[in-house]
């Protein structure tokens, strides 16, 4: 009997130790979070036959992919998308409601990561006076460091400051972004360090950007092979200053003088090349994946957004940018295999938002897609204000499709704020291009569980948002006749890729409904750390081994 009991205990102990070792083996030494700026989900499928086996197809074929992942909030902007992916929640909780927004207490527009309490590091200008102070919840990058007693490193890298700072979190060991113009430097803020690390100084002394800008931007493959795009010369695309038409080749050595010198690299796929070069230098310089703790690299490719804004979603330029990004992804995987080790890292890839197809192009196909006339709308609201209340200035600010009411004037006129908001909501609905309106009072007292109003509610922050939210008709954007933008709660802006690959990740795909906020709790579960303190996402269990 004793012998049988001893044998049973031995077997249980052996199973427990094997399971414990298996769990430990599934934990990576490095997590790489990749956010592709303005990547619609259909860019994965549209160009699928042109991607290499080691780039996007490696994520699709050997990782776990979600085909029906969306942002579940209004306000699909760069800062908001990055914040939602890394905090596991929405603007209603994490506090980033736009790239810029109107501060109704300070009575001025503010930028999401501006912070004059800190100094620029690496530049004499003020472009380094930044911090994540307006992000009011923790990020998965914070939680990984907290869960390891502040061991391990978290580094944020992007051409855009907001795309580096917000993902890296409050406890980041570093966040770096690109200062182009005449400087050509990767910089940071004194929030993180007192001086640039040697590896950053060394990188800044190279001539990488000059190398990329020394030759014209031509297509990677013969231009006639770009059959998923519109003709090269069409009326729906913007141009660089100094160009007469939006066609290849784009003569970067000549154009850079009129387009911000080094800043022009942001508007080309070579901005992604430069970002990857710097990320490699960071992995080596910070010894990421070799620090006896789990490290995190938050990497954002921003040039896709600049190209998308200028040329739209159906241009050869955007197709070429993604074919080149595919090479960047393949290059990154090869580098990680060599520097960190096969099976020792985990990657997730998503986007911060999608984009609308160019309305003028859709109109040519007889698809409804209006341009929203912002100046005319502002004038219309003044007229409504005068007609109903005898004062044309009761709307203090209009931004991000939100109306901020002038509470001081409303009080002076002895009016009720909620009643005034109701009038503006009702009258704004009659303006051409407005599909729905809703007041802050309704959002605070009602619960929406489906449709676009649910997304509006998740994007509404009681402390920060406006008094009336206006929702344009589908396909509507506010800009000129060329290029495109984003920001709505419609599928073309919310439907983005979510891909996982590497240690602890299953091979497969799911067509189930998931949200971008589900990424953070999934990574937390994989690593065995606490969820972010504002988490509202759910674990994508089927992606985990």
For 149-178, give the DSSP string: TT-S-EEEE-SSHHHHHHHH-TT-SEEEEE
Note the pLDDT tens digit of each residue in 136-153: 999 999 999 999 999 999
**What percent of the chain has pLDDT above 70?**
95
CB hemisphere CA count around 484 (13 angstroms): 32
Residue 123 has pLDDT above 70, yes or no: yes
Q: How far, in Å, CA of 446 to CA of 449, rounded?
A: 10
Q: What is the mean pLDDT of residues 437-446?
A: 97
Which pLDDT belongs to residue 414? 96
- Active-site residues, by number, are 78
Which pLDDT belongs to residue 18? 40
Note the pLDDT tens digit of each residue in 446-479: 999 999 999 999 999 999 999 999 999 999 999 9
CATH code for the domain defined by 29-88+131-194+214-362+489-543: 3.40.720.10
Residue 334 has pLDDT above 70, yes or no: yes
Which pLDDT belongs to residue 104? 96
Confidence of residue 2 (pLDDT cuts 50, 70, 90): low
Residue 299 has pLDDT above 50, yes or no: yes
Note the pLDDT tens digit of each residue in 168-221: 999 999 999 999 999 999 999 999 999 999 999 999 999 899 999 999 999 999
Q: Name residues whose C-beta falls within 8 Å of residue 375's C-beta, 6 or more positions apart in sequence.
A: none
Which pLDDT belongs to residue 39? 98
Residue ranges matching CATH 3.30.1360.150 in the chain: 374-432+434-472
Residue 16 has pLDDT above 50, yes or no: no
Residue ranges matching CATH 3.40.720.10 in the chain: 29-88+131-194+214-362+489-543
Which pLDDT belongs to residue 22? 46
Residue 269 has pLDDT above 60, yes or no: yes
Q: Does residue 396 sit in helix, strand or coil?
A: strand
Question: What would you measure as the largest C-alpha separation in the chain, in angstroms?
Answer: 95
Note the pLDDT tens digit of each residue in 166-182: 999 999 999 999 999 99
Which pLDDT belongs to residue 19? 43
Fold held by 374-432+434-472: Gyrase A; domain 2 (3.30.1360)
Q: How far is CA 100 from CA 371, 400, 457, in A?
A: 22, 9, 19
Q: What number of helices (H) and strands (E) belong to the chain?
A: 21, 18
**218-221: long-range contacts at Cβ-Cβ below 8 A with a sequence spacing of 24 or more?**
218/248, 218/249, 218/250, 219/248, 219/316, 219/320, 220/320, 220/323, 220/324, 221/50, 221/323
β-strand partners of 500: 64, 348
Which pLDDT belongs to residue 6? 54
Q: How far, in Å, CA of 331 to CA of 329, rounded?
A: 5
Residue 24 has pLDDT above 80, yes or no: no
Assess contact for 494 and 81: CB atoms under 8 A: no
Residue 4 has pLDDT above 60, yes or no: no
CB hemisphere CA count around 48 (13 angstroms): 9
Output the average pLDDT for the chain.
Answer: 95
Tell me how crowded residue 331 is: count the other CB atoms within 10 A of its CB: 16
Q: Among candidates 353, 294, 7, 368, which has minimal Cα distance to 142? A: 294
Q: How far, in Å, CA of 48 to CA of 84, rounded?
A: 27
Confidence of residue 3 (pLDDT cuts 50, 70, 90): low
Confidence of residue 11 (pLDDT cuts 50, 70, 90): very low
Which pLDDT belongs to residue 329? 98
Which pLDDT belongs to residue 13? 47
Q: How far, in Å, CA of 73 to CA of 352, rounded?
A: 12
Q: Containing H/E element for 348?
A: strand 345-351
Residue 8 has pLDDT above 60, yes or no: no
């Amino acid at each position: 009997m004793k012998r049988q009991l001893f044998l049973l205990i031995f077997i249980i102990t052996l199973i427990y130790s094997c399971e414990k070792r298996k769990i430990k083996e599934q934990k990576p030494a490095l997590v790489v979070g990749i956010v592709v700026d303005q990547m619609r989900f259909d860019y994965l499928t549209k160009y699928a036959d042109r991607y290499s086996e080691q780039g996007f197809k490696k994520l699709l074929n050997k990782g776990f992919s979600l085909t029906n992942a969306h942002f579940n909030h209004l306000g699909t902007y760069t800062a908001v998308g990055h914040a939602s992916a890394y905090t596991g929640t929405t603007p209603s909780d994490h506090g980033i409601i736009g790239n810029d927004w109107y501060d109704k207490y300070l009575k001025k527009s503010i930028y999401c990561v501006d912070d004059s309490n800190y100094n620029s590091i690496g530049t004499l200008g003020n472009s380094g006076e930044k911090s994540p102070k307006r992000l009011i919840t923790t990020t998965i990058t914070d939680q990984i460091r907290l869960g390891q007693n502040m061991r391990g490193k978290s580094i944020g890298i992007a051409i855009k400051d907001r795309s580096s700072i917000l993902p890296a979190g409050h406890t980041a060991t570093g966040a770096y972004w690109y200062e182009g113009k005449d400087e050509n430097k990767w910089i940071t803020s004194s929030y993180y360090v007192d001086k640039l690390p040697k590896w950053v100084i060394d990188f800044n002394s190279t001539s990488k950007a000059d190398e990329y800008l020394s030759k014209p931007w031509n297509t990677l493959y013969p231009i006639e092979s770009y059959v998923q795009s519109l003709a090269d010369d069409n009326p729906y695309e913007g141009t660089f200053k100094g160009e007469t038409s939006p066609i290849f080749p784009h003569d970067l050595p000549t154009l850079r003088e009129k387009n911000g010198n080094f800043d022009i690299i942001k508007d080309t796929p070579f901005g992604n090349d430069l970002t990857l070069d710097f990320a490699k230098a960071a992995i080596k310089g910070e010894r990421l994946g070799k620090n006896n703790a789990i490290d995190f690299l938050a990497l954002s490719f921003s040039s896709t957004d600049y190209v998308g804004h200028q040329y739209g979603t159906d241009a050869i330029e955007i197709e070429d940018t993604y074919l080149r990004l595919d090479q960047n992804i393949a290059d990154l995987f090869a580098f990680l295999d060599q520097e960190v080790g096969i099976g020792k890292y985990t990657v997730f890839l998503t986007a911060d938002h999608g984009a609308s197809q160019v309305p003028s192009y859709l109109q040519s196909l007889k698809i409804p897609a209006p341009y929203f006339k912002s100046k005319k709308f502002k004038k219309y609201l003044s007229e409504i204000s005068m007609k109903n209340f005898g004062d044309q200035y009761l709307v203090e600010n209009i931004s991000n499709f939100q109306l901020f009411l002038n509470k001081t004037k409303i009080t002076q006129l002895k009016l009720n704020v909620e009643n005034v908001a109701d009038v503006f909501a009702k009258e704004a609905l009659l303006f051409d291009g407005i599909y729905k309106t809703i007041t802050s009072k309704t959002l605070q007292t009602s619960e929406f569980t489906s449709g676009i109003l649910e997304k509006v509610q998740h994007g509404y922050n009681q402390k920060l948002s406006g008094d009336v939210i206006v929702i344009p008709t589908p396909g509507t954007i506010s800009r000129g006749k060329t290029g495109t933008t984003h920001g709505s709660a419609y599928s073309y802006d919310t439907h983005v890729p979510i891909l996982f690959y590497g240690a602890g990740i299953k091979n497969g795909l799911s067509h189930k409904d998931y949200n971008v906020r589900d990424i953070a709790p999934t990574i937390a579960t994989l690593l065995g750390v606490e969820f972010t303190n504002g988490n509202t996402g759910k674990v994508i269990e089927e992606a985990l081994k």
